[in-house]
Structure 1
């Protein structure tokens, strides 16, 4: 069972710590939770202290009564509060999608707390088509009746991005992101996240995120991109690798947004990244 800690504004957030070695804080995507990092625990708990957390409004953590607190800076502050709670001066971050954006924000505001960053299918440029796809489902209940129903239908829904995925893998995927209700699957996050994202994008202006990426200068850095990603453009990955030739980079075959982190390419990048962290 996850443990909990209190944020500066009194919310109870769930976290889990397993393993030994350098601290690796795993931050999930916008609608996701700590279960996405089960493969990281399974493969690397003997090489790193794997810290997983459910951001406010996700998974087993409390929902925020003020949806305007669902922001990157606030979620970054929550991550630092967790490090303080655990008595850690620094940690590396494995950030999936939004989790990677949080890592880049922290590189601006609290770089001294970071010992490295691994970005999972996210960068300083995002494909508008991918952002539009996120808004298509954000805050809306899935249509699947059960985990088994989802496992049967997900290949048709996501098969263009995710190929060569077994039914057991789809079943695990469904169990990580939804929960079973009386009649159909339910969200494992606050549906009011949609209101928060709409409020933050009301101007329609897309900020320049390259300064956040540049702030990672001097830190061990790695990048994973799903071969079929709808969010991280291939051209952006190329620019990131050119600007940081020391960055560990890999594309994950047959995966979209986001890789599951159990693929050979993902495991290789995580393993190489861990060797670069201070011990």
Structure 2
């Protein structure tokens, strides 16, 4: 009987913040760092981490303001701030040659980091994001963040609300995502487990302009895999093709039956596609 690998919860001080991460073991192997998206957390990657830890030392990071990591003291949730955290995280753990995998916001952070530190990466995987976003998907995500209730009467009420926005992910995957994205509030209700400044800045319309990532791409020298969900509303085929043309060493894979949350929507096709690239 095989025992399922359980990650260890660890914390490191990086860039003045306590950053929490999940260590999936296998320290003798090449390290792989996983970066979640805007509303994600380290556990977003659990299915992929479980598969990847057979071949890699997998570290899934809670980026600032998410999960069990500190919130930004100054409310700074810009790409350069996330990338400075990642650089400090790598320094703290002496990571100088590793694989980086990022989804959505985490994919943008990964591209920026890779452009600044090409010598540190063996391979890069960018999941369903590009230097430009399809405005339809960007507006959908903003609307979802701005309009979501502050609190719910129960966890089941959260699941019911979020399931209306879920097209492909299984009930078990959706429940896991929400388990680590919520917390019990002092009043006994269920609220969100991230810095609400991330939401409030969208309500106020004060989110800083996104960093221009096109100049980063030609500087990324490592083999790069672009993963696109076939049903995504965020990464257009045109932007994916331009990325392919601009990156020095890139390939593109499209995952069927998947929207923007590719690895949750269709892990059965996502996991082998990425493992083939990494092998």
**What TM-score comes out, normalization by structure 2 length?**
0.84
Where does residue 84 of structure 1 map in the other structure? Answer: 91
| 1:136-170 CA distance string (max 9 Å, x none) | 23365466543333434444333xxx23x433233
| Deviation of 1:220 (Å) | 1.3
Where does residue 190 of structure 1 map in the other structure? Answer: 195
Where does residue 175 of structure 1 map in the other structure? Answer: 179
Where does residue 36 of structure 1 map in the other structure? Answer: 44
| Deviation of 1:54 (Å) | 0.9
- Quick one: distance in 1 between partners of 2:172 and 2:268? 18
RMSD after superposition: 2.5
Check whether the contact 1:150–1:171 (CA below 8 A) recurs between aligned residues.
Answer: no
Cα gap change, 1:141/1:32 in structure 2, threshold over 3 Å: closer, same or farther? Answer: farther
Given candidates 206, 215, 220, the residue that maps to 2:219 is: 215
What does residue range 113-124 of structure 1 map to in structure 2 within 5 Å?
A: 113-124=120-131
Given candidates 246, 250, 265, the residue that maps to 1:247 is: 250
- Quick one: distance in 2 between partners of 1:74 and 1:190? 15
Where does residue 263 of structure 1 map in the other structure? Answer: 267
Structure 2: gaps of 5 or more residues? 1-7
- Quick one: distance in 1 between partners of 2:165 and 2:272? 28
Aligned length: 265
| 1:207-235 CA distance string (max 9 Å, x none) | 6432222222x211112112221211122
- Quick one: distance in 2 between partners of 1:66 and 1:244? 34
- Of structures 1 and 2, the one scoring higher in RCO (CA 8 A, sep 6+) is 1
**What TM-score comes out, normalization by structure 1 length?**
0.84
- What secondary structure does 1:118 align onto? strand
